[in-house]
Amino acid sequence: MMWSTMEKSLCLMVLWLAVMLPSALSQCPPSANIEPCSCSVNGFVGLQLTCFGIVTEEELRSIFHNTSFPVTSFDEINIINCATESLGADLFGQLDADRLYIENNPNLKSVDLELLASPMSDRVRVIGISKNPQMEVADLRLFENVKRTDLMVTMIENNFKTITPPSKPINIYSLNLGRNAIASVTADMLKNLQGVEYLYLYENGLTTINSGALTTLDSLKDLQLHMNSLGPVLSPGAVALPASLTSLTLDSNGISEVMPEAITGFSSSAYLSLRSNSLQSFPEEAFRPLLERLAEGGGRLDLSGNFGLPCDCSIVWLFLTPGVLDAVDQYYCENYVPITAIDSEALIQSCSLEGH
């Protein structure tokens, strides 16, 4: 009988689990010693310690500091749906993990800045602090002791209204602060994040980004600002970016007008998205410098979902300026005709006659 590649892979996986699972489970402490926490082994997650429904921080601390753990290193530690209002310093004792998730804790208001003490600070690579509705400050000083240079932090769906920056340069590689309530980003909120490459501030009700807040992030590649309130007018300096940036998402911000120098500083190979806004005009003084910059390096501007854009004499400059039209993507006129379907020569001639 001939076996398919998939069947062979499944067979090998079953054999691997049969051999490795008993050995891996032996790394878990007796369940009676850590209840109501639980220890398990998952072929994809690895060795996992989950604490669900803990009432007090003291109870949680007594479990984590329990000396009956056969091993102290986990692939993942979860603190979920616990009633505690705070998590204190050195909570994890000698335990460490590659991934740490603190999520769906309805009463949690704060975490101590020394929560991630060694050995946790030496190893942790992924941290999720999300869906904790009583937390109102994203205090980035929490991550000052973390040693990894590829740290990924997700802090979504809390109730953050402001950001406290770290007091020294830190190693966050990816920072997701989406779906909070950060209405404004001031110049100092993101200081000491020079290593961050991915920054997400979507769905915050964000209305302003102060001058200089982003330009110092000289490693930043991807910035997601979609579904905020940066419109209706994107004023000069509204989104000043570092030259390293290669992707900017400004979708669904209620933007109807972009003024000159509203978006500046990006890489010439960047993808800039203004999808699903309400643009009614495409003035040369605002968009020509932006498109010329993108044309230098093969970048593009995505305008999909803006169905009020003009296709009249006001955009003749697009056809007369070499290279810029190649940087425009998904431009649709008021009558849903793509700009690529326009008879540009006829439009230029018609507008020339009108000029006379």
**182 within a domain of the structure (yes/no):** no
User: Would 104 be classed as within a structural domain?
Assistant: yes
Total domains in the chain come to 1
- Residue 289 in contact with residue 266, Cβ under 8 Å? no
Residues 6+ apart with CB under 8 A from 167: 141, 144, 192
Beta bridge partners, 153, equal 127, 175
Tens of pLDDT, residue by residue over 47-77, are 999 999 999 999 999 999 988 899 999 999 9
* Residue found by looking up tokens 């000159």 in the block: 260
**CA 176 remoteness from chain centre:** 4
91, part of any domain: yes
Q: Is the pLDDT of residue 43 over 90?
A: no
Domain assignment of residue 101, yes or no: yes
Computed over every residue of the chain, the mean pLDDT equals 92
- Specify if 45 maps to a domain: yes
Peptide bond into 119 cis (omega under 30): yes
What b/e string do you get for 235-262 counting C-beta neighbours within 10 Å, with b at 16 or more?
eeebbbbbeebbbbbbbbbebbbbeebb
| β 37-42/46-52 pair status | antiparallel
Is residue 264 in some structural domain?
A: no
Q: What is the pLDDT of residue 173?
A: 96
Structure tokens belonging to residue 134: 């009583």
pLDDT band at 278; cut points 50, 70, 90: very high
Question: Does residue 59 lie within any of the structural domains?
Answer: yes
Query: Residue 99: in which H helix or E strand, if any?
Result: strand 96-103
Report, as an integer, the average pLDDT of 284-301. 97
Instruction: Tell me the pairing of strands 162-164 and 184-185.
Output: unpaired
Give the tens place of pLDDT for each residue, 84-125. Answer: 999 999 999 999 999 999 999 999 999 999 999 999 999 999
Residue with tokens 């869906």: 131
Residue 44 to residue 46: CA distance in whole angstroms: 6
Share of the chain above pLDDT 70, in %: 92
Domain that holds residue 48: 31-130
Cis amide prior to 283 (ω within 30 degrees):
no
Within a domain: residue 80?
Answer: yes
Is 345 strand, coil or helix?
A: helix
